[in-house]
Amino acid sequence: MTNTPRILQTIESHILDLQKLHPAASGDFTGLLNDITFAAKIVSREVNKAGLVDILGATGESNVQGETVQKLDDYANAVFLKCLGTRGQVCIMGSEELAEPIFNDVGPGSHNYVVIFDPLDGSSNIDANVSVGTIFGIWKRRSLLNKVGPADLLQPGRQLVASGYVIYGSSTMLVYTAGHGVHGFTLDPSIGEFLLSHENITTPFVGGIYSVNEGNEPTWSEPVRETVRQLKYGRDSGRGSAGGKTSRYIGSLVADFHRNLLYGGVFLYPPTADKPGGKLRLMCEAAPLALVVENAGGYASDGRGPILDITPDQLHMRVPLYIGSRDDVMWIEKMLSGVQR
């Protein structure tokens, strides 16, 4: 009896199965997720041959964040802008690389979705061939009757209908949640398909890893310093210290987050002297990953409360971020806010 090959499920088929859970669905959401998948394949191709094509290095410009824009940032940004909402599903697009959001003139079509994305995360690592990624969040348009406006754009993560990320690493993986579990798909470049490789990802309740840029320690607050000390040496729980964690920090949020999601651990980006409100962006980094981690059993906090409950005051709002294994993040939040949650 020849063993029949295990046919893995493509992401397109997985998304269609998801649509069956919503009989009234128009197919717009399915189309939008497939547009994101298509853009990810194109960016993956460029990232994986960046060393061969003159696409490495910086453009010489800086973006709204005041950060040097790498050529791949620009390229990835252009690809997602071009691929998203090709069938009229998107009314607003917001990118980390664009100062202002793009409001699509609401012509024919549903235009029911708002998509905010970080087209290339970890871009300072590009020239060193370190894993980089894309992060995206999808919200529903709120003002169904009148013209879209700030109320449709500035929504808390709790209102996300889906979010996920792509990691361009030793292989390219797309991980997403639409509220029915967290699922990972690995790109098979030989057939150009993302195939289901990590179904129903759950993250360990307690992790063995902490990820933080210790170079920022001189400008952390004392509670943050004490928290990281106890992550390193073990919690001074009064019942003997519960062994310290090991340190892993890549400097690409998507790569650090993905490893901690699978292995268990906590990523920290506390406020620093030059970023007193935190470095990472709420809408295109923290909130989408917070939805993923909560659907995998983890938690994400700004040090006072859930990331998902924060309503942005502007598209590029930054927040402190503590994200990963639930017990670790809840403990950090208690350490920093002094409040038992």
Q: Find the part of the chain contacting Mn ion (CB under 5 A) among 11-19, 120-128, 148-156, 219-227.
A: 120-128
- Kindly state the smallest distance separating residue 73's Cβ from Mn ion, in Å: 6
- Kindly state the smallest distance separating residue 73's Cβ from ligand AHG, in Å: 7
- Kindly state the smallest distance separating residue 318's Cβ from ligand AHG, in Å: 11
From CA 247, how far away is CA 157, in angstroms rounded? 28
Q: Is 126 in the site for ligand AHG (CB under 6 A)?
A: no
Q: Where are the beta strands (DSSP E) in the chain?
A: 58-62, 68-70, 90-95, 102-103, 113-121, 132-140, 160-168, 172-177, 182-188, 193-198, 209-211, 246-247, 266-269, 280-281, 299-301, 318-319, 321-324
Give the x-and-dash track for 71-110 against Mn ion (CB under 5 A). -------------------------x--------------
Q: Find the part of the chain contacting ligand AHG (CB under 6 A) among 118-126, 136-144, 166-174, 179-187.
A: 118-126
Q: Is 319 in the site for ligand AHG (CB under 6 A)?
A: no
Q: Is 297 in the site for ligand AHG (CB under 6 A)?
A: no
Q: Is 67 in the site for ligand AHG (CB under 6 A)?
A: yes
Instruction: Write the single-letter amino acid at 89.
Output: Q
Length of the chain measured in residues: 341
From CA 57, how far away is CA 124, in angstroms rounded? 9
Interactions with ligand AHG, residue window 83-102 (CB under 6 A): 96
CB-wise, 103 or 263, nearer to ligand AHG?
263
User: Of Mn ion, ligand AHG, none, which one sits near residue 213, judging by CB under 5 to 8 A according to partner kind?
Assistant: ligand AHG
Q: Which of 28, 74, 121, 302 binds Mn ion (CB under 5 A)?
A: 121
Q: Which residue, among 157, 140, 123, 134, has the nearest Cα to 37 in the 3D structure?
A: 134
Q: Is 164 in the site for ligand AHG (CB under 6 A)?
A: no
Q: What torsion, rounded to 10 degrees, do the Cα atoms 23, 25, 31, 33 define?
A: -80
Interactions with ligand AHG, residue window 255-284 (CB under 6 A): 279
The answer to whether 165 and 156 have CB atoms below 8 angstroms apart is no
Instruction: Write the single-letter amino acid at 179.
Output: G
Query: What helix, strand, coil percent values describe the chain, rounded to 5?
Result: 35, 25, 40
- Kindly state the smallest distance separating residue 98's Cβ from ligand AHG, in Å: 13
Q: Which residue, among 271, 274, 262, 279, has the nearest Cα to 304 in the 3D structure?
A: 271
Instruction: By CB under 6 A, name the binding residues for ligand AHG.
Output: 67, 96, 118, 121-124, 213, 251-253, 279
Contact positions vs Mn ion (CB under 5 A): 96, 118, 120-121
